[in-house]
Structure 1
Amino acid sequence: MPLAGNGGYTVRRYTLDFDWRAPRTPFEAGATISATATQALSRFDLDFAGNTLHRVTVDGTPATTRRDGDELVVTPARPIPRGRPFTVRVAYTADPTQGRHRDDAIQDYGWVPTPDGTLVCAQPDGARMIFPADDHPSLRAPVTFRITTPAGLSAVANGRLVGTVRRPDGRTRWTYDSEQPIAAQLVQLAIGRFTFVAGSGPRGLPVRDVVPDGLVTDTEAYRSLTPEHLAWLERRLGPYPFRRYGVLVGDTELPVALETQSLSVVPRDDLLGDRVDAERNLVHELTHHWTGDSVAIRRWSDLWLSEGHARFYERLYSDEHGGVSLESAMRAAYEQHDQWRHDEGAPAEPTADTLFKVMRYDGSALVLFALREKVGEAAFDRIERTWVSEYRGRAAGTRDFVALASRVAGEDLGPFLEPWLHGPRTPPMPGHPDWQADPVED
């Protein structure tokens, strides 16, 4: 499948510099990439799209470059031996109007302009429009952000604010550290007139919401539910796996929320409407921090593990808090499942074009519901807690999940899960012989 990263090296850290000026206005940027060669390298690739490239150095020496679609091909002055650390510096002019469109749940992504600034939505392959990266969901590295803003504007990014420096010209440089390794698709940086709202979750976990000044009061009712959501998920999945959490309210027409690590971006309209819908979205993005952010997917065909879990727990929470019952939602999904398989592929069989279609959401949550019906709630809960604890901070895939579920349940679940994940037709639902899938229409 496309949307893959690169080979031959491992990134140890990104340091990103953004000298932001004004909405929709190009600005100077730089990326310092500390890496280690995993093979002898006469050249290597970075995922980097658009923007205006100025220069690239490798260990301080100018390198030869060429653009090949979304790849920046770098040829260092001297080959890099296997096992040697090296440092790449890329200077460029960033284009904050750059974005792309997908005909699925993601829709518009890349740089997302706001009335007085910007935020970013990098999933699935939009990080390359923001900075040069090794952009694959299984690959993570710590990130240092250094963002300079005009007077009156604030900046925020994943992780912890290290400090601010006021410059003589009145501009401010904000430095953030991601604290834990992060996949390029989960990077967040935003600039605007923000209010930072501090709170706490279970065991004193720092909770920091970042809200456009004019939306603080109107979004407070739903934002204030985060500690409750954290506690509810911890009872099911164990301790929250990062050092802080918060919601970045997006003052945009952004159609979807996104689980950017430690700081989920949620569109303002999601926080101004119906409570049941708002909580579904908030719990969905928070669940991803266990499944998708902490337990990364090994490859894009494993996306069902990330989105399916987020949708399953979103539906379960909604069932318990005034929404549609889980069983009703799953029965509705079952009825459409054959059609989704026909149109979008089985849950673990997406194409690049169907990656974020409904099969990866409700269709994949249905697989987890079927597993729970097969093994029982107690065994299912043990599987889930073991999954997020054993693979915490690691990448895992479909085979890993099937093997772990089989081990925890004490039975080989491969023959049961195989047709659910890969087959052309929806298998019978355990315990629900009356459930029927609707006929498929071409």
Structure 2
Amino acid sequence: MAPLDGNGGYTLRHCDLAFDWRAPGTPFPATATLRAAATQALSRFDLDFAGNTLRTVTVDGAPARAVRDGDELVVTPARPIARGRTFTVRVAYTADPTQRRHRDDAIQDYGWVPTADGTLLSPQPDGAKMIFPADDHPSVRAPFTFRVTAPPGLTAVAGGRLVERRRLPGGRIRWTYDSEHPVAAQLVQLAIGKYSVVTGTGPRGLPVRDVVPDGLVADTEAYRSLTPAHLAWLEQRLGPYPFGRYGVLVGDTDLPVALETQSLSVVPSSDLLGSRVDAERNLVHELAHHWTGDSVAIRRWSDLWLSEGHARYYERLYADAHGGPGLEEAMRDAYARHDRWRHDDGAPAEPTAASLFRQMRYDGSALVLYALREEVGEDAFARIERSWVTRYRGRAAGTADFVRLASGVAGRDLAPFLDRWLYGAHTPPMPGHPDWRVDPVAED
């Protein structure tokens, strides 16, 4: 990703977003109040911030100088900030809910996603800065408070817990949500529109909250109702669900892909109106991310294989047991294509910015986990997986951490084996499958 994504010199402690929503496609007043702790003496600091119209910036209540430099907002406070000191920066701006960018990979369009009567968010990988001033790096997480004021007749939702719904003078409604857990900027969700909120319970009484366009509640109920079973299936393999609630936000719009926005995954309505096998694959994929990607965050974008590879592996494993394509069949097909993906998109742990969300990070990375399972055996692999999501729960971890943990659990050094799979120019032999062949790739 771009070298300026994320910022140094401070640790983000809390982010409070206040949106005064007006109408679809209409700019509206917004403020972001960020509390941070300086990790070094700061005469200035940066925030990731793209587009929108900047109005004022203050630091600890005093006006600050703010200069835009591409997608960076460079803030110079009235007085330098000492190392170790906590400070508060407040950015007032006019948000533009039409802002989107495009990638030529699985993400496609990202940023604000307009709907017929409102909006929802698809900020991955670095689109949060189009929505609010952020420390937009996948390893950086902080608690969020969302305060959304909207016209009567609309519902505002966000990841986490509804704290308050208050009618203001004039009839507008202010909705306040608490994220409950620290969340990365790329996994924030906030939606406004004509929604029904459908509640239920999952394993051990876990609150389940689906947010559905009013006209799609009945049509999507059959697949949405499978969430408790999906939770139970994943908990058998990865341990307790790591957040306080879960649910699906149904996106009835041109949303190109589903996204694991924390505690409220957004799923295109088309994914819930087709075949059961396809619907469950997508639902299980986004839910699995809540263990690997949301709870265990990646340290850097080159570690994305750990997030997408795990989600695709469990998606494939679930489909294998529930009437979908067989896991071995899918992995053999991925094995045949692996050299082509390495050639075009980089090895699993060596993506380029352009190839980040291409097939190598999905089936290509699930294949690495399948190879590890074949190498160490199913029992040892299951222990590795459970240990991974347990040891790094609520933390960021990377490829070196995974290799070290896997080696410790397996009782032998797996670095030589995994390094060939993760970084090699060519696909290694698949353990236990000497008959598997890689399709040849003609040199450019």
Band of TM-score, shorter chain:
over 0.9
**Which letter does structure 2 place at the counterpart of 1:47?**
D
* Corresponding residue number in structure 2 for 1:376: 377
Q: Secondary structure at the match of 1:53?
A: strand
The offset of 1:164, in angstroms, is: 0.7
Q: Normalising to structure 2: TM-score of the pair?
A: 0.99
Q: Secondary structure at the match of 2:426?
A: coil
* Corresponding residue number in structure 1 for 2:154: 153
CA distance in 2, matches of 1:2, 1:31: 23
* Corresponding residue number in structure 2 for 1:335: 336
1:126-165 matches, cutoff 5 A? 126-165=127-166
CA distance in 2, matches of 1:69, 1:438: 43
**Which letter does structure 1 place at the counterpart of 2:29?**
E
The offset of 1:253, in angstroms, is: 1.5
* Corresponding residue number in structure 2 for 1:283: 284
The offset of 1:175, in angstroms, is: 0.0
CA distance in 2, matches of 1:314, 1:333: 15
Q: Per-residue displacement from partner, 1:230-285 (whole Å, max 9, x unpaired)?
A: 00000000000000000000011111000000000000000000110000000000
* Corresponding residue number in structure 2 for 1:97: 98
Q: Per-residue displacement from partner, 1:290-311 (whole Å, max 9, x unpaired)?
A: 0000000000000000000000
1:178 aligns with 2:179: yes
**Which letter does structure 1 place at the counterpart of 2:402?**
F
* Corresponding residue number in structure 2 for 1:432: 433
1:196-215 matches, cutoff 5 A? 196-215=197-216
1:22 aligns with 2:1: no
Q: Secondary structure at the match of 2:266?
A: strand
* Corresponding residue number in structure 2 for 1:249: 250
Q: Secondary structure at the match of 1:146?
A: strand
**Which letter does structure 2 place at the counterpart of 1:279?**
E
- Equivalent pairs counted in the alignment come to 442
CA distance in 2, matches of 1:20, 1:102: 27
1:254-269 matches, cutoff 5 A? 254-269=255-270
Q: Per-residue displacement from partner, 1:350-387 (whole Å, max 9, x unpaired)?
A: 01100000000000000000000000000000000000
Q: Secondary structure at the match of 2:197?
A: strand
* Corresponding residue number in structure 2 for 1:362: 363
The offset of 1:168, in angstroms, is: 1.6
Q: Secondary structure at the match of 1:434?
A: coil
CA distance in 2, matches of 1:253, 1:343: 28
* Corresponding residue number in structure 1 for 2:2: 2
CA distance in 2, matches of 1:252, 1:413: 45
* Corresponding residue number in structure 1 for 2:320: 319
Q: Secondary structure at the match of 1:12?
A: strand
Q: Per-residue displacement from partner, 1:304-350 (whole Å, max 9, x unpaired)?
A: 00000000000000000000100000000000000000000000000
Unaligned runs of 5+ in 2: none
CA distance in 1, matches of 2:210, 2:410: 39
Q: Secondary structure at the match of 2:430?
A: coil
CA distance in 2, matches of 1:243, 1:376: 33
CA distance in 2, matches of 1:213, 1:170: 21
CA distance in 2, matches of 1:316, 1:423: 26
CA distance in 2, matches of 1:110, 1:169: 31
CA distance in 2, matches of 1:440, 1:148: 55
1:231 aligns with 2:226: no
The offset of 1:94, in angstroms, is: 0.2
Determine what percentage of the aligned residue pairs are the same residue: 79
Unaligned runs of 5+ in 1: none
Q: Secondary structure at the match of 1:87?
A: strand
Q: Secondary structure at the match of 2:353?
A: coil
Q: Per-residue displacement from partner, 1:152-187 (whole Å, max 9, x unpaired)?
A: 000000100001110121110000000000000000
**Which letter does structure 2 place at the counterpart of 1:111?**
W
The offset of 1:30, in angstroms, is: 0.3
1:303-314 matches, cutoff 5 A? 303-314=304-315
CA distance in 2, matches of 1:268, 1:437: 36
Q: Secondary structure at the match of 2:417?
A: helix
Q: Secondary structure at the match of 1:56?
A: strand
Q: Per-residue displacement from partner, 1:57-93 (whole Å, max 9, x unpaired)?
A: 0001100111000000000011000000100000000
* Corresponding residue number in structure 1 for 2:217: 216
Q: Secondary structure at the match of 2:180?
A: coil
1:118 aligns with 2:92: no
Runs of 4+ aligned structure 1 residues displaced above 4 Å come to none
CA distance in 2, matches of 1:272, 1:28: 36
Q: Secondary structure at the match of 1:427?
A: coil
Q: Secondary structure at the match of 2:233?
A: helix
* Corresponding residue number in structure 2 for 1:353: 354
Q: Normalising to structure 1: TM-score of the pair?
A: 0.99
Q: Secondary structure at the match of 2:134?
A: coil
CA distance in 2, matches of 1:353, 1:292: 20
The offset of 1:411, in angstroms, is: 0.8
C-alpha RMSD over aligned residues: 0.6
**Which letter does structure 1 place at the counterpart of 2:151?**
P
CA distance in 2, matches of 1:262, 1:407: 31
* Corresponding residue number in structure 2 for 1:402: 403
Q: Per-residue displacement from partner, 1:395-438 (whole Å, max 9, x unpaired)?
A: 00000000000000111000100010000000000000000100
The offset of 1:2, in angstroms, is: 1.9
* Corresponding residue number in structure 1 for 2:424: 423
CA distance in 1, matches of 2:244, 2:366: 27
CA distance in 1, matches of 2:170, 2:406: 58
CA distance in 2, matches of 1:370, 1:255: 30
Q: Per-residue displacement from partner, 1:128-158 (whole Å, max 9, x unpaired)?
A: 0000011100000000000001010000001
**Which letter does structure 1 place at the counterpart of 2:288?**
T
CA distance in 2, matches of 1:48, 1:184: 12
